[in-house]
Amino acid sequence: MTLLELDGVHTYYGESHILQGVDLTVEKGEVVALLGRNGVGKTTTFRSILQLTPPQEGSIRFREEELTGKDTYEVADAGIGWIPEDRRMFSRLSVEENIRAAVPNNASMSDALELAYETFPVLAERADQRAGDLSGGQQQMLAIARGLVGGNDILLVDEPSEGLAPKIVTDVGEALLSAAESVPILLVEQKLGLALDLADRFYVMDHGTIVDSGETSEVGVDDERLRRYLSA
């Protein structure tokens, strides 16, 4: 079943025409990678879905319901979770308080904590620590855990490996794979190997449009098909 569907999305910042007709879908149960060089419009695609920068043309449907024209809080309420590049969290609050704050009012707090701590045992060990004192990788896990307990039906994850040491990137990759067992993910990730390992399908973006797409099993990191759009 198609969960999220973008159809001919055009988005501007002022006069700058950034997204020039983006089409993509995410099906239930999938991890989909959105690939492309810096500045091609990946984050803008997320901002368009979230209605933070509303598109001027095209449609964005989530579970067949039109999102364009809604407020961002309504998009969040519809079940779209966002894990931005800066991993927004309450750095002065404890790990557990951060998780608790992400749980919707109508959900069971104990179930949410169990899900978060079973998925990320390292967070259980650090439940009482201030989130701001966690390492970069642990903060990323906390950000993913918050998305996981947030009652979301899809997570938009932006550059989860950004600024992390290689060994930690592997941990975060495993964390995302665990998360993907419960929730579909649309992923922006510069590290091609990681993106291909995690995702079932990929889209390649260039100059604000989708220029290639397919199953990740069809391609490898050195594939010319990807390299032409991804290398600087």
Ligand X SMILES: Nc1ncnc2c1ncn2[C@@H]1O[C@H](COP(=O)(O)OP(=O)(O)OP(=O)(O)O)[C@@H](O)[C@H]1O
- In the complex, least distance from residue 212 CB atom to ligand X, rounded to whole angstroms: 15
Site for ligand X in 104-163 (CB under 6 A): none
Please, where are the H alpha helices in the chain? 42-49, 72-77, 95-102, 109-119, 121-125, 136-149, 166-180, 192-198, 224-230
d(CA 205, CA 156): 16
Q: Residue 208 has which token pair?
A: 């604000």
Smallest separation, CB 118 to ligand X (Å): 32
Which of 50, 74, 79, 72 shows the shortest CA–CA distance to 151? 79
Nearer to ligand X, 99 or 205 (CB): 205
3-class DSSP state for residue 123? helix
Shortest spacing between CB 6 and ligand X, in angstroms: 14
Residues 40-79 vs ligand X: string with x where CB under 6 A? Answer: xxxxx-----------------------------------
- Distance CA(146)–CA(156), nearest Å, equals 12
Is 12 or 90 the residue whose CB approaches ligand X more closely? 12
Task: Tell me the closest approach of the beta carbon of residue 101 to ligand X, in angstroms.
Answer: 27
Site string for ligand X, 4-43 (x = CB under 6 A): ---------x--x-x-----------------x-xxxxxx
Local structure of 80: helix, strand or coil: strand
Contact footprint for ligand X (CB under 6 A): 13, 16, 18, 36, 38-44
